[in-house]
Structure 1
Amino acid sequence: MDKRILVPTDFSKNALNAVRYALDLYKKQNCEFYFLNIFRVDSYTTDTLIIPEPGSAPYEAAKTKSEESFSKLLDMLKLHHDNPKHTYHTISTYNFLSEAFKQTISKKDIDLVVMGTQGATGARGVIFGSNTVNAMEKIRECPVLAVPEDVRFSTPQEIVFPTDYKSAFKRRELSYLIEVAKMHDAAIRVLYVAKNPDLNDNQENNKQLLEDILESVDHSFHTLTEKDVSDGITSFVESRNSDMIAFINRKHFFFGNVFSKPLVKEIGYDATVPVLALH
């Protein structure tokens, strides 16, 4: 069964880096890649109430520009990433980012979204940065992998999975993480960051459940006594040279008042390794 992967692009260097990362991560799998460009029409902004019509000169010019950029991208991929296991599709659309994501994910039955974390800086209509973080928060149908601009692909050997053990784990939530780990023989390092390292009975039970779910992959459990969760995760990742951070993006865990700021925002804006948000 082919994996279906959506990679939004604004044709910036950062977006191209995310494309390359996705192609390398899935080098050995049969995949269909859907590249999505949300084009903007110069004389219109989302604030103006008039929406440019297909067929109007500004709309068609912007669409043509998007399609030309895609043909350059595909030529380049043919040259540097010619993989018989991969098929490429392009989608040029004038739409709101969240709407374009929603439609494409459901129409194309997407398994994973891969995004860069910064856009072409200062460019108008740029769709990354805070948009990547929003996508990680809003997309609930499939996992989202955010790839920082300076990260070059190397085979993941260690994936850090931060958790507070406060809610029970479900196998299907973690199936994607296990799949990536198996694909690259990577180890999963479960990380608990808290001022008080002791677990209550409920947390112990959830930890045991996690142990059972991860039994088919190399994994280990770690505890850090640190008052700031995102600092704790960052220092753990840096000290071990880990390759990826994965977490379950549950509303009450990341958006409740467990933390002063949502963790996805803190890690998302300041990531030094790819971040995988599972749902």
Structure 2
Amino acid sequence: MRRILLPTDFSDNSWNAIFSALKMFGAEGCHFYLLNVFKVSPINLSRTLGEERSGMLFDSAAKGSQEQLDRMLEYLKKHHQQSKHVFESISKFEDISKAVTETVKEKQIDLVVMGTNGATGAKAVFIGSTTVKVLKVMRSCPILVIPSAHDFKSLKHVVFPTDFKRFYNRSELVPLIDLILQWNSNIRIFHVAQELHLDEIQKYNKETLKKHFRDLQYTFHKVDIHTTVEDAISNFVEESNSDMVALIHYKHSFLQNLTQEPVIKKVAFHTKVPMLVLPELE
């Protein structure tokens, strides 16, 4: 049974991510963990209020978190009639990044599904979304990012950007391959390139990728970068009417090194389709 973590702040955005996950894995046995991270203002927990008062505020926040999780569970059990799906709630007083990381380890999570509202202009520089914060620290588990306005219906076409400069470990690709096999999707291998021709290492890596995807429907595509890597990916996804983009989160990402832009973060802010971020395996 697949184990999926669903962080929630009870917003419409997080509900949309939950519903997307339920539809995406509708035919598969899944154990869904609903995680809420509650907070208490540092000022309210200050020593000046006294330990008793601070304890009351903490207890109230913890109770509120669990009560809302209980309502979510009640709603899902009543309205989501899928016998293969099991739900469990987790409430934590913790930083969101640490809470997700801990839960992934404790519950042996296979996939984290999170929503994102995105950001524009200066907000993308000065305000880091919760999802992007988690993306920065999570290196052991795939993360599926669901845009708030996205209404998931099917997974016919998936874009996989690459420059063929890294060797592909099949284990890194398993979450993507499993999802594609489940939906009988076509994967569009998108070569984001500045060079005109592949060198011998790139050719070898391309052939390795073919072997990993041998049981899938795949096609190769290439585009020269005229603006940014983020724009190149976004434009291709939109023009090809694709349903998802998948990226491997390398420590020193080829996408970032190519033009010195933090592509994972930028695409997470602006993507209009779900984005699957696969961890690099060492």
Q: Same fold (TM over 0.5)?
A: yes
What's the offset of the Cα at 1:138?
A: 1.6
Change (3 A) 1:94 1:220: same
Equivalence for 1:125: none
What's the offset of the Cα at 1:256?
A: 5.2
Change (3 A) 1:138 1:236: same
Q: Any stretches of 5+ residues in structure 1 without a counterpart?
A: 120-127
Cα distance in structure 1, aligned partners of 2:238 and 2:91: 38
Aligned length: 269
Structure-to-structure mapping, 1:54-65, within 5 angstroms = 56-65=55-64
Change (3 A) 1:45 1:37: farther
What's the offset of the Cα at 1:203?
A: 0.8
Change (3 A) 1:55 1:252: same
Cα distance in structure 1, aligned partners of 2:246 and 2:233: 11
Cα distance in structure 2, aligned partners of 1:215 and 1:52: 62
2:271 equivalent to 1:271: yes
Structure-to-structure mapping, 1:50-199, within 5 angstroms = 56-118=55-117, 130-199=129-198
The answer to whether the 8 Å contact 1:8/1:36 transfers is: yes
SS state at 1:257 partner: helix
What's the offset of the Cα at 1:66?
A: 0.8
Equivalence for 1:35: 34
TM-score, reference length from structure 2: 0.89
What's the offset of the Cα at 1:229?
A: 1.4
Q: Any stretches of 5+ residues in structure 2 without a counterpart?
A: 119-126
The answer to whether the 8 Å contact 1:35/1:88 transfers is: yes
2:219 equivalent to 1:220: yes
2:252 equivalent to 1:252: yes
Equivalence for 2:123: none
The answer to whether the 8 Å contact 1:254/1:263 transfers is: no
Change (3 A) 1:52 1:258: farther
What's the offset of the Cα at 1:14?
A: 0.2
The answer to whether the 8 Å contact 1:136/1:144 transfers is: yes
SS state at 1:219 partner: strand
SS state at 2:277 partner: strand
The CA RMSD over aligned residues, in Å, is 2.4
Cα distance in structure 2, aligned partners of 1:52 and 1:11: 29
Equivalence for 1:122: none
What's the offset of the Cα at 1:114?
A: 0.3
Q: Percent identity?
A: 37
TM-score, reference length from structure 1: 0.90
Cα distance in structure 2, aligned partners of 1:103 and 1:214: 32
Cα distance in structure 1, aligned partners of 2:32 and 2:79: 16
The answer to whether the 8 Å contact 1:36/1:92 transfers is: yes
What's the offset of the Cα at 1:140?
A: 1.3
What's the offset of the Cα at 1:193?
A: 1.5
The answer to whether the 8 Å contact 1:113/1:145 transfers is: yes
Equivalence for 1:24: 23
- Tell me which amino acid in the other structure corresponds to 1:9: T
Cα distance in structure 2, aligned partners of 1:16 and 1:236: 28
The answer to whether the 8 Å contact 1:44/1:52 transfers is: no
Change (3 A) 1:17 1:197: farther
